[in-house]
Copies of this chain bind each other. A is one copy, B any other.
């Protein structure tokens, strides 16, 4: 359409039409189609939370985190390689990491200020824009499964607190006691946060110190695990995202972060799927997950450049990170923290995990 360097002659009206066409995605789709020739059929990425974990971490701890990421990634890969949906892949991967006490989601979730666990999760189907989320649940073993049920079996998109717990159980989610989520590592972190704020130690969680816990029958590695999330593109071209978290250590009871907020910590549409991790309040304020998707559509940016702009130009240094995948299977995994356990796989044979950046 254009010949580089040749002068073009349009009236203002024609120029505006071109500008509008570019904004509406015309230029961006042309770009996508050009690169789609070499695109993978499916792609998936996973994260285990942005954080400040030291590179001095013992090898066995590092290996335990990477092994969990590889296992979760492999489960998602299996679903996608068999023609399964992006939605099933992200739910499965996130549920596996919720069950893993190394991560701050499901079992192993951090403690609120009051010594309890309150869990948030969301899932979104980019093909239909359907989405479901739960926040502040206290008895749901796998919050991401509850989020999917909210999406599929209610007319709502976000349920919180006791109503969300009740909905989840009535719809077949496995129910657990608060002690199920206990790990001594997270309780120690709470006591440290309380001490730093000049508060007396709690001594025990609000539900008492569990005698024996699934998460404690084997010592939980002091690894690099935070919020978890997954994004995927399936072979039918559908995108999906899911995120699950216990939130911030020492948060006020009732505090909801970005993970369960559509467009803040979790978002998927027809072009892009995004899952975020970090200072949730910042991700909510700036609507980061949706912003990545909008930059792809509105400015025709590659998904990795959109992610970079959000993390480096909109958020503050150290606020966190995100993973994203676009409809051509291009994956972005970035953070402005030193580390973000993460992994990526696609139909071209890519399969990799990492924890720190610039290694």
A333 within 8 A of B: no
**Of the candidates B15, B161, B167, B262, which one forms a contact with A285 in the assembled complex, judged by CB atoms under 8 Å apart?**
B262
A292 within 8 A of B: no
A49 within 8 A of B: no
A19 within 8 A of B: yes
**Of the candidates B7, B23, B253, B256, which one forms a contact with A162 in the assembled complex, judged by CB atoms under 8 Å apart?**
B253
Encode contact with B along A1-44: 1 for CB under 8 Å, 0 otherwise.
01111111111100100110011000000000000000000000
A286 within 8 A of B: yes
Least CB distance from A186 to B in Å reads 19
Encode contact with B along A300-338: 1 for CB under 8 Å, 0 otherwise.
000000000000000000000000000000000000000
Binds B, one of A87-95, A103-111, A151-159, A172-180: A151-159
Binds B, one of A129-137, A201-209, A212-220: A129-137
Could you say which residues of chain B place their CB within 8 Å of the CB of A18? Answer: 15, 19
**Of the candidates B130, B136, B154, B298, which one forms a contact with A163 in the assembled complex, judged by CB atoms under 8 Å apart?**
B136
Least CB distance from A312 to B in Å reads 16
Most chain B CB atoms below 10 A, which of A154, A162, A163: A163
A264 within 8 A of B: yes
A47 within 8 A of B: no
Q: Is the CB of A299 within 8 A of B23?
A: yes
Known A23-B298, A160-B160, A285-B129; contact A154-B11, beta-carbon cutoff 8 A: no
A192 within 8 A of B: no
A287 within 8 A of B: yes
What is the number of residues of chain A that contact chain B, defined by CB distance less than 8 Å?
55
A70 within 8 A of B: no
Q: Is the CB of A251 within 8 A of B281?
A: no
Known A8-B15, A9-B9, A262-B264; contact A157-B298, beta-carbon cutoff 8 A: no
Q: Is the CB of B12 within 8 A of A2?
A: yes
A154 and B11 CA atoms in complex are apart in Å by: 54
Q: Is the CB of B158 within 8 A of A284?
A: yes
A148 within 8 A of B: no
Could you say which residues of chain B place their CB within 8 Å of the CB of A294? Answer: 294, 298
A76 within 8 A of B: no
CB nearest neighbor in B for A155: B281
Could you say which residues of chain B place their CB within 8 Å of the CB of A299? Answer: 23, 298
A261 within 8 A of B: yes
Which of A's residues lie within 8 Å of B, judged by CB? 2-12, 15, 18-19, 22-23, 118, 129-131, 135-136, 154-164, 166-167, 251-257, 261-264, 281, 284-287, 290, 294, 298-299
* A-B contact list, 29 entries, CB within 8 Å: A2-B12, A2-B15, A5-B11, A6-B11, A8-B9, A8-B10, A8-B12, A9-B9, A19-B19, A19-B22, A129-B286, A131-B285, A154-B252, A156-B251, A156-B255, A156-B256, A156-B281, A157-B281, A158-B255, A159-B256, A160-B254, A160-B256, A161-B161, A161-B254, A163-B253, A163-B255, A263-B263, A263-B287, A298-B299
